[in-house]
Amino acid sequence: MSTPPPPGVYVPAVLFLDENEDFDVPAIKAHVLRLAKGGATGILVQGSNGEAQHLTREERKAAIALTRQTLDENGFQNALVIAGTGAQSLRETKLFNEDAKEAGAAFALVLTPSTWPKAMTIDNIIRFHREVADASPIPTMIYNFPGVTGGLDLDSDTVFELSSHPNIVGTKLSCGNIGKLHRLTSRLTPKEFAIFTGRSDTFIHSLNAGSAGVIAATVNIAPKAHVDLYNAWMRGEREKAMETQAIFGHADWAVSKIGGIGGIKCIVAQKFGYGQPYVRSPLKVVDESKLRDSNEHYQTLLELINLEAS
């Protein structure tokens, strides 16, 4: 029986690129190091924010290895690396899991295939994830994100059934459905099956429902603030934690309005001194001057950045 990842704050790291859309290695390393210094329990490489679908197989493996190497070289051997390995076929997903193990990942986070959504019946979804887990050299987790899987949204019964597999150890619920999360946490402990919310705007609500923590995009901007909220909640400082949660709620909404992945990269480059806002086409580069001068959500993110600095 495989062991789930420990509770805490995880970040689906953005992957910094140069003007030619190649890896910006110094910026990638600087970002991984800032996240680790901020207290992140682990780094998710090639989550949706890591542009996994835009990378070659070799690039995916290289990004995992670079993340693991950066952590190890800087004294963060205990920080976990989770690799996003979902692909559109069972065969390729198995290959990505093998690559992830070789590159230093401890867990694989697997999206449900979605090119043929009508073919992905509940039985077929369960079969896919079980066969992936059967063959995987590292424990797997179920990644439920309807926004990137053509609307496919796994229900709590499906996830619960998959949780009985000895090599399926958790899930990331980016659907934002707290009811679904609570139905799962009421039947499964974090030591059996780790259930993470995939959104900062539901972080404290998921903790209240018994989640293992968060794996969310906004942690790219403010890892310390997320860790601080988690620690405050665990200490019973509910009022302080709720004040921070209010900021996260507005910040998550702002990130969605400033360009998503490109917006996160732009904010990080502007406020933390490394990287550039380049993304792989067809994603769109966010114009820094327009972001600063005309985007009403920019001020919301400044509040989060000020919180992080404090």
Cα 104 from Cα 240, distance rounded (Å): 37
Q: How far apart are CA 90 and CA 140, in angstroms?
A: 14
List % helix, strand, coil for the chain (3-state, nearest 5): 50, 15, 35
Which pair of tokens denotes residue 191?
A: 């030591």
β pairing state of 168-173 and 140-144: parallel
Q: What's the sign of the alpha-carbon dihedral 37, 41, 45, 47?
A: negative
Active site residue 10: no
Would you say 89 and 115 are in contact if contact means Cβ atoms under 8 Å apart? no
Give CA–CA dist 158/30, Å, rounded: 39
Asked if 172 is an active-site residue, the reply is yes
Residue 12 CB contacts under 8 Å (≥ 6 apart), including other chains: 44, 47, 48, 49, 50, 84, 215, 216, 217, 219, 220
Q: Known binder of ligand: residue 178?
A: no
What is the helix (H) or strand (E) element at residue 8, kind and residue range?
A: strand 8-12
Tokens of 173: 């619920």
Question: Alpha-carbon distance 118 to 180, whole Å?
Answer: 22
Which listed residue (61, 172, 180, 224) is catalytic?
Answer: 172
Catalytic residue among 10, 94, 143, 180: 143
Bind-site residues: 215
Bind-site residues for pyruvate: 215
Any idea which residues carry the catalytic annotation?
143, 172
